[in-house]
């Protein structure tokens, strides 16, 4: 199972698994709205810090790789010059529909939104004549509109179909995976992507339940089954938290997608261009941390001890956490980690 060793060492954050961008505060610690409120509203964690980090030139070309409800994109557009350009992507077709229905965004010639996954970014940019960019911003995890919509199946707090796909137009749902997978496969997913110590018991209960009757099809059914299988509960955390996180990460191939877009960033960023990533659990953050470290540390070839070290492709610039004011306004932001790296000129496009 890919990422197994890293996942077993990872710790899942309490509460809604991998939740991102649920509330923001401004520089003075005051809440910041990004979409006008209303049903399934959405605001952004580390909003100003992320935009400050990624923006190096108002005339540059930037990519918001996780549009969501546009918190980062809107602030970037406020700070871009008329010659600047912002290309946003999102795997979720609902996010793309939301962006295209927004009059201000649709009327802004500097802005484009596309329905795409991380792995599709290089081809998408090439098709639009973009060979290099000045910054890439990624706000990982699942967003508030996704969590709070029962029809998406991301949360154990609501009864809905057991779907969990970020892109509802393709791929296998969580219910479909559980219906076809073996007990061992289910246990590995829950263990590796949720660090759930009761993974074997949960997998055994899922397979037994589906052998005796109809398959699991709703979030409520899975949540209740997990609760019966977990012998002890962590304080302040629903027993289904780790299982839901694990299935969501697996169904959406989130870690593989992240690895692909990080590698793509090396090829796409101009010298001096910035990579800014906000992570919400240790599986994601470990991948980002390791990637930046691998390309920003001197590596010597042991076979040629007197040779110069390999040239650095990145400079690690910062690791930030939410301020006390933001954490007080939004406890979910406590787990957010923002990492910033800058592309060197080594092997980069001019």
Q: Where are the domains of the chain?
A: 19-145+254-343, 168-251
Q: Is the pLDDT of residue 12 over 60?
A: no
pLDDT of residue 8: 37
Burial annotation 55-82 (CB, 10 A radius, 16+ → b, else e): bebeebbbbbbbbbbbbbbbbbbeebee
pLDDT category, 91, cuts 50, 70, 90? very high
Mean pLDDT over residues 7-35, rounded?
40
pLDDT category, 330, cuts 50, 70, 90? confident
- Distance, in Å, from the CA atom of 128 to the CA atom of 4, rounded to the nearest integer, reads 37
pLDDT category, 10, cuts 50, 70, 90? very low
pLDDT of residue 261: 98
Mean pLDDT across the chain: 88
Q: Is the pLDDT of residue 32 over 70?
A: no
pLDDT of residue 40: 45
pLDDT of residue 29: 38
Pairing of strands 24-25, 31-32: antiparallel
- pLDDT tens digits for range 255-311: 999 999 999 999 999 999 999 999 999 999 999 999 999 999 876 666 766 666 668
Closest C-alpha to 71, from 28, 116, 20: 20
Least confident of 12-26, 113-127, 146-160: 12-26
Closest C-alpha to 98, from 77, 74, 67: 67
Q: Which residue reads 């699942």 in tokens? A: 142
Mean pLDDT over residues 99-117, rounded?
98
pLDDT of residue 18: 54
- pLDDT tens digits for range 224-242: 999 999 978 777 789 999 9
- Distance, in Å, from the CA atom of 314 to the CA atom of 303, rounded to the nearest integer, reads 24
Q: Quickly list DSSP for 171-199.
A: S--HHHHHHH--HHHHHHHHHHHH--TTH
Tokens of 84: 């600047």
pLDDT category, 143, cuts 50, 70, 90? confident
Q: What phi and psi, each to the nearest 5 degrees, are found at residue 155?
A: -115, 140
Predicted structure pTM score: 0.87
Looking at domain 168-251, does it have CATH number 3.40.50.300?
A: no
pLDDT of residue 347: 77
Torsion angle in degrees (nearest 10) through CA of 226, 231, 237, 238: 30
Tokens of 344: 């060197």
- pLDDT tens digits for range 158-203: 999 999 999 999 999 999 999 999 999 999 999 999 999 999 999 9
* CA within 13 Å, CB half, 33: 6
User: The domain 19-145+254-343: what is its CATH number?
Assistant: 3.40.50.150
Q: What phi and psi, each to the nearest 5 degrees, are found at residue 52?
A: -60, -40
* CA within 13 Å, CB half, 32: 21
Element containing residue 311 per DSSP (H, E) = none
- Distance, in Å, from the CA atom of 231 to the CA atom of 236, rounded to the nearest integer, reads 15
Residues 6+ apart with CB under 8 A from 305: none
Between 75 and 305, residue with greater pLDDT: 75
């Amino acid at each position: 199972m890919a990422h197994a060793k890293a996942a077993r060492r990872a710790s899942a954050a309490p509460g809604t698994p991998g939740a991102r961008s649920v509330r923001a505060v401004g520089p003075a610690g005051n809440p910041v709205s990004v979409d006008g409120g209303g049903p399934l509203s959405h605001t952004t964690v580390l909003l100003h810090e992320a935009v400050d980090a990624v923006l190096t030139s108002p005339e540059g070309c930037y990519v918001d790789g996780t549009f969501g409800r546009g918190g980062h994109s809107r602030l970037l557009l406020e700070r871009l010059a008329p010659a600047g350009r912002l290309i946003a992507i999102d795997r979720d077709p609902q996010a793309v529909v939301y962006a295209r229905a927004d009059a201000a965004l649709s009327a802004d010639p500097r802005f484009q939104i596309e329905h795409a996954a991380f792995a599709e970014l290089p081809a998408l940019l090439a098709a639009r004549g973009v060979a290099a960019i000045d910054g890439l911003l990624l706000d990982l995890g699942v967003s508030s509109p996704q969590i709070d919509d029962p029809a998406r199946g991301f949360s154990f707090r609501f009864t809905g179909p057991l779907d969990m796909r970020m892109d509802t137009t393709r791929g296998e749902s969580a219910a479909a995976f559980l219906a076809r997978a073996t007990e061992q496969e289910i246990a590995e997913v829950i263990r590796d992507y949720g660090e759930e110590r009761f993974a074997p018991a949960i997998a055994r209960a899922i397979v037994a339940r589906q052998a005796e009757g109809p398959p699991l099809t709703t979030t409520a059914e899975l949540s209740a089954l997990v609760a019966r299988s977990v012998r002890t509960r962590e304080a302040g955390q629903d027993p289904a938290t780790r299982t839901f996180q694990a299935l969501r990460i697996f169904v959406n191939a989130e870690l593989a997608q992240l690895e692909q877009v990080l590698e793509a960033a090396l090829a796409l960023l101009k010298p001096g261009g910035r990579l800014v990533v906000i992570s919400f659990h240790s599986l994601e953050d470990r991948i980002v941390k390791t990637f930046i470290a691998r390309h920003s540390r001197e590596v010597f070839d042991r076979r040629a001890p007197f040779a110069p070290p390999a040239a650095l492709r990145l400079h690690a610039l910062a690791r930030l956490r939410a301020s006390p004011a933001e954490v007080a306004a939004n406890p979910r932001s406590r787990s957010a980690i923002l990492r910033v790296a800058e592309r060197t000129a080594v092997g980069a496009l001019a």
